[in-house]
Amino acid sequence: MTAQALDGLLLLKNDIFLRALRREPTEYTPVWLMRQAGRYLPEYCATRKRAGSFLGLAKNPAFATEVSLQPLARYELDAAILFSDILTVPDAMGLGLDFVEGEGPRFERPLRNEGDILALREPDLADLGYVFDAVGEIRRALDGRVPLIGFSGSPWTLACYMVEGGGSSDFRTVKTMLYERPDLIHRVLSVNARAVSTYLNAQIEAGAQAVMVFDTWGGALADGAFQEFSLRYIREVFAHLKTEHAGEEIPSIVFTKGGGQWMEQLADSGASGVGLDWTVNLGAARRRIGAQCALQGNLDPVILFANEAAISKAAREVIDSYSDGRHGRQAIAGHVFNLGHGISQFTPPDAVKILVDTVHAYSADLAKS
C-alpha cells in the first residue's frame, strides 16, 4: 500500500459505506438518503435564502459545503453527497439553466433541431470548476468523518432535460425525436457520455470517494429503447471511469428509476452497486444480482409521512427482505440502505432520525446474532 493510500484509510473514520459497496461484511447496514441535503431541512432553506437562489447556492462552494454537511449534523448518516445538481453539465454546455420558482428547471436554449444538436459540444471543465472546488472543500470539512459521493445524471436523463427544456410528464418531445430521428438522439447521447465520464473523473480527482449515476428517466423508455438509448451510454460512462484514485478504489452506483426489470443488465454495466426503487423486492434482487453487485435502496420515500411505528416497521422489512431470514454479518453484506427515490421536500425532519436510527440498531442486532 502506498503512503497516500494509507493516509486515506487513516483519515476515514467511517468507511462502512465503501465496504458495503465492495460487498464486504459490515457491523451494521450503512444508510444515506438521496436528496438528503434539501428543502425538508429548515437550515437548508435558511442557507438558500442567504444564497438568493438554488443556483446561487449550488455555484458557491462555501454554501454548497455548508448544506452538504447539514444532514450529517442532525443524523448519523454513513455518507455525504456533493451538493450540486445533474443539470450543471448541460448548463456548462451553454443551454442556459434557470430554476423557475415553483416550476423546477428550465433551459433557455433547449436542443430543438438538427442545427442545435450538431453544434452541441462537451463542456469546458473550467466552467464546472465550482463543482470540483466544492468537492475539495466538502472533503476538508468532512475531515474523514464519512466518505463523499460525487454524482452525475446519466446521458439519457440529461438528454431528456436538454431536449424538453425542462421537466415533463410524458417526455413527448425527446421520445418523438428518438423514434423519428434516432441518429440525432444518439449524437446527443455520445456527447453526453463523454461529458459525464470526464466530469465524474474530475470529481474523483477533486476528492469524491464514490460516484453515482442518476438515470432518473431510464424507466420512461420501452424495453429495447432502454438498452439502446440509456444502458449503452451508461456502460460507456463506466468504461471510461477511473476505478482508483490516490491508491484507493472508487466504487460506483447506477440508479435507473423504474428499471427493476433490467437489473441484471444494470448489474453488468460496470457499476459496483445498483440502486433500486421501492417497487422492487430487495430479497429477490439479491438472489438475481447480489453475487455481482451491491444493492442500494429501497424504502418508499412516502413512508416518512407515516407514524414512528410504521416507519420503523417498514425499515426493518427492507433489511429483512435483503437478509432473507439469515443472521450475522454476511446476512447484511452488500446492502446500502437508502430510499427508493429522493426524499420529499415536505418530509418531517424527525421522521428521518427515526429511520436512520432504526436501520443502524436493527441491522447491528441482526449482524451480531
Binding residues (CB under 6 A) for ligand CP3: these are 34-39, 48, 54, 81, 83, 85-87, 104-105, 151, 167, 214, 216, 342, 345
Distance of closest approach, residue 114 Cβ to ligand CP3, in angstroms: 26
Distance of closest approach, residue 108 Cβ to ligand CP3, in angstroms: 16
Query: Which of the residues 22, 39, 181, 194 is marked catalytic?
Result: 39
- Cα separation, 170 vs 188, in Å, equals 19
Could you say which DSSP state residue 169 is in? S
Q: Which amino acid is at 333?
A: A
Could you say which DSSP state residue 244 is in? E
Distance of closest approach, residue 189 Cβ to ligand CP3, in angstroms: 17
Is 216 or 347 the residue whose CB approaches ligand CP3 more closely? 216
Question: Do residues 118 and 90 lie in contact, with contact meaning Cβ atoms separated by under 8 Å?
Answer: no
Please provide residue 358's backbone torsions phi and psi, each rounded to the nearest 5 degrees: -65, -45
Is 221 or 333 the residue whose CB approaches ligand CP3 more closely? 221
Q: Is 287 a catalytic residue?
A: no
Distance of closest approach, residue 190 Cβ to ligand CP3, in angstroms: 21
Is 87 or 250 the residue whose CB approaches ligand CP3 more closely? 87
Question: Do residues 95 and 159 lie in contact, with contact meaning Cβ atoms separated by under 8 Å?
Answer: no
Q: Output the nine-digit C-alpha cell for 71.
A: 444532514
Secondary structure (3-state) at 313: helix
Phi-psi region of 325 (alpha: psi -120 to 50; beta: other; left: phi over 0): left
Is 34 or 177 the residue whose CB approaches ligand CP3 more closely? 34
Cβ-Cβ contacts under 8 Å for 317 (sequence gap 6 or more)? none
Q: Is 85 a catalytic residue?
A: yes
Cβ-Cβ contacts under 8 Å for 269 (sequence gap 6 or more)? 231, 234, 235, 238, 254
Is the N-terminal amide bond of 298 cis, ω within 30° of 0?
Answer: yes
Which H or E run includes 191? helix 182-206
Distance of closest approach, residue 1 Cβ to ligand CP3, in angstroms: 31
Question: Do residues 20 and 336 lie in contact, with contact meaning Cβ atoms separated by under 8 Å?
Answer: yes
Query: Which of the residues 15, 78, 85, 215 is marked catalytic?
Result: 85
Query: Which of the residues 23, 48, 139, 235 is marked catalytic?
Result: 48
Is 57 or 332 the residue whose CB approaches ligand CP3 more closely? 57
Q: Is 39 a catalytic residue?
A: yes
* 129-142 and 182-206 helices, crossing angle to 10°: 40
Is 30 or 105 the residue whose CB approaches ligand CP3 more closely? 105
Distance of closest approach, residue 366 Cβ to ligand CP3, in angstroms: 27
Question: Do residues 332 and 29 lie in contact, with contact meaning Cβ atoms separated by under 8 Å?
Answer: yes
- Cα separation, 45 vs 145, in Å, equals 24
Is 87 or 276 the residue whose CB approaches ligand CP3 more closely? 87
Query: Which of the residues 7, 22, 35, 316 is marked catalytic?
Result: 35
Residue showing the smallest CB distance to ligand CP3 in the complex = 216
- Cα separation, 19 vs 316, in Å, equals 21
- Please give the positions annotated as active site: 35, 39, 48, 85, 161
